[in-house]
Structure 1
Amino acid sequence: MKALTWHGRGDIRCDTVPDPKIEHGRDAIIKVTACAICGSDLHLMGGQMPSMEKGDILGHETMGEVVEVGKDNSKLKVGDRVIVPFTICCGECRQCKWGNWSCCERTNPNAEMQAKLLGFPSCGMFGYSHLTGGYAGGQAEYLRVPYADVGPVKVPEGLADEQVLFLTDVFPTGYMAAEHCEITPEDTIAVWGCGPVGLFAIKSALMLGAKRVIAVDSVPERLALARQAGAETIDSNEHAVHDALMEMTKGLGPDAVIDCVGMESHSAGSLLSRAAAAVQSTVSATERPYALNEAIIACRPGGIVSVPGVYSGPTAVMMGAFMNKGLTMKTGQTHMLRYMEPLMKRVQDGEIDPSFIITHRTTKLEDGPALYETFREKKDGCVKVVMKPHG
């Protein structure tokens, strides 16, 4: 089969690789009908995640049709149309039973490797380095789904692939980020980053009843989509973000802030540059969390900092501002199985059509490497790429 593979920093290829096979009785094989390039895939492309190996198959936003089922899997049958969460969960360990699906204790075969970095392992994940299990990803013609009697969710009749594909990651991720803000009807929520997760965080905050959402980005196309999603916007190329937020909130600041940028952030505002420089002068860090620190500085005292943005290593955080303002941080990989079916119901009910973020489509995996480049460089107004490997 054809698949998109990693061969080093900046080197994504479309290769011919062996077809996946059933390896365990709970497995299933799906024919991929739609998959997407995620912002966190760019961390792999940029060499920011350790433990990638040449030839690793990428991708963790995937759906398709079941073509083979393991002997111990009674949940699925051949012909079922399913969305596959990016997290792989056993459904039996204490974390799964607690509903902390992304903290599953059993599905990462490289748990010991990851525990050396994090203290404990997280769940296995599709196409996201050997730290998270080395599982083949779904930017391919076919995908093996381990523990397929737990994660995949069947798609009801009447919903198109593009309406449900993002339930595999970015829509639940944005929703959980907004839910972490404990929104009340008078709240103002500020969102850093208007990529796909940021756009869904905006939509979700408004669905959860926020009075205002203010979104920060520097890319015109993303700011335009944020406005269409219902947010007021700040162009960080044109304005000092902190000053703009204080003016827009009459000096009160946002009640909660969401960092949808993560490790890719860069400095834009003068206040943040000075603060970050002070931190960097005393702390050795592998990442430069400008968006996170800008959000911490902007958040009102007693507020909430929600972080769906991905970080992989030591990070220099404005802990003085965080502690002295009495802030609370909520973060984590998304507990997908909490959200997939409830959010699918919102799609069915017409509350939201997640396909609004799609800007680029292809039916050829061979286009994938060039589309990775387009997405990374934010060229051609690229916000979200969807690939349909079988046309």
Structure 2
Amino acid sequence: MRAMVYRGPYKIRVEEKDKPVIEHPNDAIVRVTLAAICGSDLHLYHGLMPDTRIGHTFGHEFIGVVDEVGSSVRNLQVGDRVMVPFNIFCGSCWYCARGLYSNCHNVNPNATAVGGIYGYSHTTGGYDGGQSQFVRVPFADVGPVKIPDWMHDEDAVVMTDAAATGYFGAQLGDIAEGDTVVVLGAGPVGLTAAQSSWLMGAGRVIVIDHLEYRLEKARTMAHAETFNFTEYDDIVVEMKKQTDYLGADVVIEAAGAEADGSFLQHVTGTKLKLQGGSPIALNWAIDSARKGGTISVVGAYGPVPNAVKFGDALNKGLTLRMNQTPVKRQWPRMFEHVRNGYLTPRETVTHRFPLEDIAEAYHVFSAKLDGCIKPLVLPSAA
């Protein structure tokens, strides 16, 4: 099969790889019909995630058609169209029994914190991802869901991570009716978090970013107030002014460790604002929240140095909530919101690239060229 492969920082290509095979009776092989590149894939692309091995195939957002099933698979049949959550989980451990699918205890031998994730280095289990023609899906009776007939394919693929993560970010904020919610980052996760905040009762939604085309999308897609942090000496001071000098009730950190930065920015923090990734965005969240407020962190962070103002968070009495998204747990209610038009995941999609052009896709997305917010990848026919 043809698949994207990693050859080192900023070096990816499409090569021939062996088509995956059934390794366990509960595996399925899925022929990928649509995949996406996620902002967190850029951490791998930039060489910031440890144990990203040469030859690894990225891609944790994908949908497809079941091509083969193991002997014990009961819920899927060959030919079923499925959407696959980015979490790989067993469905039966202590964590899965409580809906914490992203913390599954049985799928990642390399860490005790996070469970398995497709195409996200060997720190999350070493599973190859879906930026390819085929992908092996473990625990096929547990993770994948058949795509409803009414659902658009581009809604489905964005819901395998980015949209679900944005929804989860608003959910973690524990938003009360009338709350002021500030969202840091206007990528696909932040845009959906802003949309979802209205559904959960927010009285005011503010989105902060530094790219005007993303802020415009926040205004049109999420009907949010927007602020470009480069236009202010101190965006935290501006947020205080906007909230009667109290601060926001809820801050959703949807930028992550590397919204638009380099390794040097991570280590030194010398660059401005969200571009510095860690610790800037987290500290903005802490400083912008009112005393007793809530911070929801759904931006992706790797093991890079952080100088987080934890003492300030303690003294302000903040509630900090965070996790990798247990995607499948969000889907039942999200499906209804999408069907009713309250959530519009595919609105974040701006670009579509053939698999053979994936190197160009990563470059355009990484460099924020051509107004790119969410790129999709279309694998060629097998």
Q: Are residue 257 (structure 1) and residue 251 (structure 2) matched?
A: yes
Q: Are residue 243 (structure 1) and residue 212 (structure 2) matched?
A: no
Q: What is the match of residue 23 of structure 1?
A: 23
Q: Residues 81-125 of structure 1: CA distance to partner in whole angstroms, max 9, x if unpaired?
A: 1100110010111110011111100011334xxxxxxxx242111
Report if the CA contact (8 A) 1:265-1:291 is conserved: no
What amino acid maps onto 1:250 in structure 2? D
State the alpha-carbon separation in 2 of the partners of residues 266 and 64 from structure 1. 30
State the alpha-carbon separation in 1 of the partners of residues 109 and 155 from structure 2. 33
Q: What is the match of residue 204 of structure 1?
A: 196
State the alpha-carbon separation in 1 of the partners of residues 376 and 268 from structure 2. 41
SS at 1:257 equivalent: strand
Q: What is the match of residue 223 of structure 1?
A: 215
1:180-329 pair list within 5 angstroms: 180-228=172-220, 229-239=222-232, 240-265=234-259, 288-313=278-303, 314-329=305-320
State the alpha-carbon separation in 2 of the partners of residues 246 and 108 from structure 1. 42
Q: Residues 263-289 of structure 1: CA distance to partner in whole angstroms, max 9, x if unpaired?
A: 11579xxxxxxxx99999xxxxx9731
**Alignment partner of 1:162 out of 145, 149, 154:** 154
SS at 1:341 equivalent: helix
Q: What is the match of residue 102 of structure 1?
A: 102
Q: Residues 222-278 of structure 1: CA distance to partner in whole angstroms, max 9, x if unpaired?
A: 0001111111011011123112212221212110101111211579xxxxxxxx999
Q: What is the match of residue 362 of structure 2?
A: 372
Q: Identity across aligned pairs (percent)?
A: 44
SS at 1:243 equivalent: helix
Q: What is the match of residue 55 of structure 2?
A: 55
C-alpha displacement at 1:132, in angstroms? 0.7
State the alpha-carbon separation in 1 of the partners of residues 314 and 152 from structure 2. 46
SS at 1:233 equivalent: strand
SS at 2:8 equivalent: coil
Q: Residues 319-342 of structure 1: CA distance to partner in whole angstroms, max 9, x if unpaired?
A: 121111000100010011211232
Gaps of 5+ in 1: 112-119, 268-275, 281-285
Q: Are residue 6 (structure 1) and residue 11 (structure 2) matched?
A: no
State the alpha-carbon separation in 2 of the partners of residues 230 and 328 from structure 1. 26
Q: After the TM superposition, which of the residue ranges 239-248 and 167-176 deviates more from structure 2? A: 239-248
Report if the CA contact (8 A) 1:259-1:291 is conserved: yes
Residues 266, 300 of structure 1: alpha-carbon distance in 2 compared, 3 angstrom cutoff: farther
SS at 2:335 equivalent: helix
What amino acid maps onto 1:12 in structure 2? I
Q: What is the match of residue 64 of structure 1?
A: 64
C-alpha displacement at 1:193, in angstroms? 0.5
What amino acid maps onto 1:3 in structure 2? A
Q: Residues 304-356 of structure 1: CA distance to partner in whole angstroms, max 9, x if unpaired?
A: 11100111124211012111100010001001121123212221222222110
State the alpha-carbon separation in 1 of the partners of residues 67 and 203 from structure 2. 46
Gaps of 5+ in 2: 271-275
CA RMSD of aligned residues (A): 1.9
What amino acid maps onto 2:60 in structure 1? H
Report if the CA contact (8 A) 1:108-1:121 is conserved: no
Residues 130, 300 of structure 1: alpha-carbon distance in 2 compared, 3 angstrom cutoff: same
State the alpha-carbon separation in 2 of the partners of residues 292 and 104 from structure 1. 26
What amino acid maps onto 1:148 in structure 2? A
Report if the CA contact (8 A) 2:252-2:296 is conserved: yes
Q: What is the match of residue 88 of structure 2?
A: 88
Q: After the TM superposition, which of the residue ranges 10-19 and 47-56 deviates more from structure 2? A: 10-19
SS at 2:14 equivalent: strand
Residues 22, 191 of structure 1: alpha-carbon distance in 2 compared, 3 angstrom cutoff: same
Query: TM-score w.r.t. structure 2 length?
Result: 0.93
Residues 18, 190 of structure 1: alpha-carbon distance in 2 compared, 3 angstrom cutoff: same
State the alpha-carbon separation in 1 of the partners of residues 109 and 70 from structure 2. 20
State the alpha-carbon separation in 1 of the partners of residues 258 and 55 from structure 2. 24
Q: What is the match of residue 117 of structure 1?
A: none
State the alpha-carbon separation in 1 of the partners of residues 125 and 71 from structure 2. 23
What amino acid maps onto 1:167 in structure 2? M
Q: After the TM superposition, which of the residue ranges 226-235 and 238-247 deviates more from structure 2? A: 238-247
State the alpha-carbon separation in 2 of the partners of residues 28 and 277 from structure 1. 41
Report if the CA contact (8 A) 2:269-2:278 is conserved: no
1:344-383 pair list within 5 angstroms: 344-362=335-353, 364-383=354-373
Report if the CA contact (8 A) 1:153-1:341 is conserved: no
Query: TM-score w.r.t. structure 1 length?
Result: 0.91
Q: What is the match of residue 114 of structure 1?
A: none
State the alpha-carbon separation in 2 of the partners of residues 195 and 53 from structure 1. 27
Q: Residues 48-73 of structure 1: CA distance to partner in whole angstroms, max 9, x if unpaired?
A: 10001111001000101111110011
Q: Are residue 179 (structure 1) and residue 171 (structure 2) matched?
A: yes
Q: What is the match of residue 38 of structure 2?
A: 38
State the alpha-carbon separation in 2 of the partners of residues 349 and 265 from structure 1. 31
State the alpha-carbon separation in 1 of the partners of residues 374 and 28 from structure 2. 27
State the alpha-carbon separation in 1 of the partners of residues 60 and 308 from structure 2. 28
SS at 2:365 equivalent: helix
Report if the CA contact (8 A) 1:307-1:331 is conserved: yes
